[in-house]
Homo-oligomer: A and B are copies of this chain.
Amino acid sequence: MRQICLPTGLNEHETRLLDQIIVRKKIARDSYLYRIGDQFTSLYAVRVGHFKTYQENLAGDRQINGFQMSGDLLGMDAISSALHQCDAVALDDSEVCMIPYTQLETLFTEMPILMRHFHRVMSEEIMGEQNVIMILGNMYAEQRFAAFLINLSRRYALRGYSPTRFQLRMTREDIGNYLGLTMESVSRMIAKMRKDGLIEVRQRDVEVFNLSALNKLAAGIDISDSSQASLDLPSVVTEYNYLSPQLTYLQRLWTAK
């Protein structure tokens, strides 16, 4: 773990201090990491596995806020009220780092570097949600699903996995709920993209054939309109960031070893 921490600013002593307050915990598939209304005591960093978080309204409708994978931090929405504001459910058998929040804040005063990292993580959480807002507020079903695949692709790439071959850990219904669509619409978008030769999907296995075409789709550029002089857009288009460009130091720390 030292190799990961030392180059990014924490010394050996500081790394040990941080490590001392963290406790690992296993969460079985389909069980809750925490529930709405639970007392907030810890943040959770995903070490292994996947989670979904969702809110519930008074009518009982659910809205999935996001899917979390290794390195992602859960529970930041609970800081202000000291109560968890959503349910967090494991999609796989998973393992998390429990980070007692009071102790973490105490460490911040001694370790400004750690504090700054934490602020960046919270800021990224805000950016990620703004991305979701853009998807839900402005996009058609096909664009939404394209943006969803691109997001997953980048996040897996950041973690050293293939950006073009990965498994969906959630049901079609979960995807639809997250994207503000029905499960049927998701299914139709998959069928359409498969017919268009952009992706292949068998069950939960996804292979992306044409990531740049997906980017254009998500950006609202009609790829079937071949009358356009150039189908290759400036690199900024394919480089459009649906996600932060690299794993943060903290993400690497709490998924290390």
Contact surface of A with B, Cβ cutoff 8 Å: 55, 57-59, 61, 63, 65, 76-81, 85-86, 105, 108-109, 112, 115-116, 119-127, 129-130, 132-134, 136-138, 177-180, 219-221, 236-237, 240, 244
Distance A177 CA – B137 CA, assembled complex (angstroms): 8
Contact of A133 among B61, B65, B123, B244 (CB under 8 A): B65
Q: Is the CB of B220 within 8 A of A61?
A: yes
Q: Is the CB of A116 within 8 A of B105?
A: yes
Q: Is the CB of B119 within 8 A of A105?
A: yes
Q: Considering the complex, give the chain B residue whose CB is closest to the CB of A60.
A: B220
Q: A77-B126, A130-B65 are in contact. Are A138 and B180 (CB under 8 A)?
A: yes
CB neighbours of A129 from chain B (8 A): 126, 129-130, 133
Q: Is the CB of A134 within 8 A of B180?
A: no
Distance A108 CA – B106 CA, assembled complex (angstroms): 11
Q: Is the CB of B123 within 8 A of A76?
A: yes
Distance A77 CA – B179 CA, assembled complex (angstroms): 22
A74 nearest CB across to chain B (Å): 11
Q: List 20 A-B contacts (CB under 8 A).
A: A57-B219, A58-B221, A58-B236, A63-B134, A65-B133, A77-B127, A79-B120, A79-B123, A80-B121, A80-B124, A81-B244, A105-B119, A122-B122, A122-B126, A129-B129, A129-B130, A133-B133, A133-B136, A136-B137, A137-B177
Of the candidates A78, A116, A119, the one having the most CB atoms from chain B within 10 angstroms of its own CB is A119
Q: Is the CB of A80 within 8 A of B120?
A: yes
Contact of A78 among B76, B123, B125 (CB under 8 A): B123
Q: Considering the complex, give the chain B residue whose CB is closest to the CB of A248.
A: B80
A34 nearest CB across to chain B (Å): 15
A135 nearest CB across to chain B (Å): 9
Q: Is the CB of A127 within 8 A of B85?
A: yes
Distance A134 CA – B76 CA, assembled complex (angstroms): 17
Q: A219-B57, A220-B57 are in contact. Are A127 and B63 (CB under 8 A)?
A: no
Contact of A237 among B58, B80, B221 (CB under 8 A): B58
Distance A119 CA – B65 CA, assembled complex (angstroms): 20
A51 nearest CB across to chain B (Å): 15
A102 nearest CB across to chain B (Å): 10
CB neighbours of A59 from chain B (8 A): 219-221
